[in-house]
Amino acid sequence: MPGGRRGPSRQQLSRSALPSLQTLVGGNCSNGTGLRNRNSNSVGLSAPPLTALITPEPVRHSRIPDLPLDGSLLFEFLLFLYLLVALFVQYINIYRTVWWYPYSQPAASTSLNFHLMDFHLIIFITVMLARRLVWTIISEASQAGSSSLVRYVVLIAARLTLLTLCGWVLCWTLVNLFRDHSVLNLLFLGYPFGVYVPLCCFHQESRSQVVPTDCGYLDQDAPDSSLLRPKDFFTLLRENLREQFASPASVPAHTCPLSPELIRSEVEGLKTDFNRRIKEVLFNSLFSAYYVAFLPLCFVKSTQYYDMRWACEHLIMVWINAFVMLMSQLLPPSYCDLLHRSAAHLGRWHKLEHGSYSNAPQHLWSESTIWPQGVLVRHSRCLYKAVGPYNVALPSDVSHARFYFLFHKPLRILNLLIGIESSVVLYQLYSLLRSERWNHTLSLGLILFCNYYVLFKLLRDRIVLGKAYSYPLGGSSLGLKSQ
């Protein structure tokens, strides 16, 4: 009608209609970006922020029981006992005899050629292997406290006596080794320290970083200004050597930070701590295998025959077993659960090829935004897709992707350790069935007895944690609300 009210045309209706859910996801994300439509034109919708329209899936954490963990003193004693057994086995492999031959053709009167052994070297290796145990005893005694002056004086005197005794034994063995062996052989005595000392300089940058206290990882009143200054070589050397003797650090607490900046700061702190623990595991496992299985081979006389293949195989087994034992102690289930929770808050981005998802909504990545799963973002001229249900990671940071890959499944490290230890045990059982020499049977029996204990603890933790993580999460579980 000429005077009637006209209804909106089809074109006007399409422009003024309410945006769909997909349009809202591709709307303005509080960073000034628009929606990319099929014709690659920017539609200027004044939509609310993305996190206000779509709430990311809340991160809920499973509650795991407190599994028993060996104390520092007990673990160091068991590790030292295992290394002594492995050292004894290696000397059996090197200096064995055929003592069961009849006396008409005597090959040897004892099972081992004791006259060929260097007992000064054995004492030196034993002291070097006991360094962590001695320091743990001193640390545990120091933490016990002193209720009286007499007890404090006795404690100080005992510490000095123990350290002086170890130093005197080392000096006495070194003097005798210098007198009986060549300089080339003596260079093998301190080779691990010669390799480790230059590596101390590469930790200056990581040690100068201060983790914010708000992320719940460190409990400090105020950052120390001395940590921000570069440290000299001797300071770094002293700190690294102190770490080698120190007991395992306590597991930090997780407070479910709500801010993306705090989540990334917590992850950075956990990465530094995890790398420090892995460095300690690698160095101490290689150190143990070197002094237990390799150093005795360096002092064998040229006229002495031994099975090189079996000795090298024993070296590899000692390194793997020491590695698994240290990993299970320094990366307990509570610490792996902490890494899993931080990885769940961090998320991950998957890089897409150019031209893919050209018709889907895309956004510019913002460091203050919590991105839900499936969102496409642009960062450094590359397209990324959110993988985790909660994503605050830097898309181009490879370390964030590696952190999420390693720890988004809480049982990944434990399954890896079980696989390694099970493979070692099965191979040793197979070798035991095929062994024909008495030293092979004895060495495999002793080492298997130690491996059974480690495998038992790993399987116990795997069964308990598997049931805990498979238990359905209820409403009482910890949830993280989007901001």
pLDDT digits (tens, 9 = 90+) for 315-357: 999 999 999 999 999 999 989 989 988 888 888 888 888 766 6
Separation CA 318–CA 340 (nearest Å): 30
DSSP structural state of residue 10: H
Report the candidate in 317, 310, 320 with the shortest Cα–Cα distance to residue 92. Answer: 310
In this prediction, residue 236 carries a pLDDT of: 54
The domain limits of the chain are 72-217+225-331, 332-410
pLDDT digits (tens, 9 = 90+) for 379-422: 888 888 888 788 888 888 888 889 989 998 889 999 999 999 99
Separation CA 120–CA 463 (nearest Å): 46
Q: 82 and 451 in contact (C-beta within 8 Å)?
A: no
DSSP structural state of residue 112: B
In this prediction, residue 347 carries a pLDDT of: 85
Is residue 258 very low, low, confident or very high in pLDDT (cuts 50, 70, 90)? low
DSSP structural state of residue 381: T
pLDDT digits (tens, 9 = 90+) for 436-478: 888 889 889 999 988 999 999 999 999 999 988 887 665 443 3
Average pLDDT over residues 233-239: 56
In this prediction, residue 420 carries a pLDDT of: 95
pLDDT digits (tens, 9 = 90+) for 70-113: 888 999 999 999 999 999 999 998 888 765 555 555 555 677 88
Average pLDDT over residues 204-208: 41
Q: 122 and 169 in contact (C-beta within 8 Å)?
A: no
Report the candidate in 164, 255, 284, 170 with the shortest Cα–Cα distance to residue 478. Answer: 255
Provide the whole-model pTM: 0.75
In this prediction, residue 241 carries a pLDDT of: 53
Mean pLDDT computed over every residue of the chain:
75
Residue 246 has pLDDT above 90, yes or no: no
In this prediction, residue 150 carries a pLDDT of: 75
What type of residue sits at position 295?
A: L
Question: Where is 167: in which H helix or E strand?
Answer: helix 149-180
Question: Where is 116: in which H helix or E strand?
Answer: none
Question: Which position has the token pair 């009482």?
Answer: 476
Which has the higher per-residue pLDDT, 89 or 146? 89
